[in-house]
Amino acid sequence: MRIAAGDIGTNSTRLLIAEVSAGRVVPLERRVVVTGLGAGVDRTGRLDEGGVVRTLEVLAEYGRTARDAGAQAARVVATAALRAAAGNREEFLDRAAALLGVRPEVITGEEEAALSFEGATGGAAGTGPYLVIDVGGGSTEFVFGAASPAHAASVDLGSRRITERFLPSLPASAEELAAARRAAAEAFAGVVLPGDPGTVVGVGGTYTALAAVVLGLPAYDPDRVHGARLELAALDTLTEHLAGMSLLQMAALPSLDPARAPVLPGGAIVAAEALRRSGRAEVEVSETDLLDGIARRLALV
């Protein structure tokens, strides 16, 4: 069955076209564009029109791609930015539905976590039980389980939110960096896991971008990134390094989408503090995530 799965996130808008057979997801095409839909939503409760226009342009292209690919079923979900944008959420969803032919669904943080777990653990190399950490632009999800999710938590803190609150410009000062780290640690302090994970799996653009930087890739390579292991000490060191760079210096990193540069230091803080909360010192980075979980569920309907 050919599936189109979409994810409208706080920072990026993504598409997966895949063939699904017997629960196995075979990607045919993955796309991601940093659209910044959630810029300022934490402060205003509304989606910024610039981010709306960029996101709708991308969704129009994704709709054409899905139709050209002959997708037999499609589902598009929206996450933290749309959960927070009470002021103009419905207007955006109406405009998006007209372009896609399917209305995006605003899902809860708990469902977002469960979908990420389903997608990530299908491609993980480690042993269970698993803890999947999904760092988004507006929220971070923790989901724990063996063969299926047993416990999930969603925290309203992600790469864009922490950047807008604590890192107004780059390079960041030592005081700004320390305040952001404290805020992330405090936000995650309430996350209680039902057991010790055998493997921590990190998903989302923050973890994949950080892995590419740590690996020193000359260009982003999903095959190299998938399965890469990042140690907490390396994440802490990288956070210091990124926070000390200017936007121009960061945008020049060969493996990094320049549009992600403004929120990557904040994302690194969130990624490191989330891993620290897990009690483990290493995370396995996965290219398979929420989109793969959507695709697998769609094929079962």
User: pLDDT at residue 123 above 70?
Assistant: no
| Phi–psi pair at 164, nearest 5 degrees | -65, -30
User: pLDDT at residue 5 above 80?
Assistant: yes
Q: In what order do the strands lie in the sheet with 2-8?
A: 24-34, 12-21, 2-8, 73-78, 105-106
User: pLDDT at residue 122 above 80?
Assistant: no
Classified by CATH at the fold level, domain 110-285 comes out as Nucleotidyltransferase; domain 5 (3.30.420)
Does this model's pTM top 0.75? My answer is yes
pLDDT per residue as tens digits for the range 141-186: 999 999 889 999 999 999 999 999 999 999 999 999 999 999 999 9
For residue 75, the model assigns a pLDDT of 97
What is the token pair recorded at 249? Answer: 């210096």
Distance, in Å, from the CA atom of 53 to the CA atom of 48, rounded to the nearest integer, reads 9
For residue 147, the model assigns a pLDDT of 82
| Mean pLDDT value across the chain | 95
Q: Which CATH class is domain 2-107?
A: alpha beta
Q: What percentage of the chain carries pLDDT values higher than 70?
A: 99
Banded model confidence at residue 127, pLDDT cuts 50, 70, 90: confident
**Is 110-285 in the same CATH topology as 2-107?**
yes
Question: Per-domain residue ranges for the chain?
Answer: 2-107, 110-285
For residue 108, the model assigns a pLDDT of 94
My answer on whether omega of the bond before 149 falls inside 30° of 0, hence cis, is no
**CA 3 from chain center: how many Å?**
20
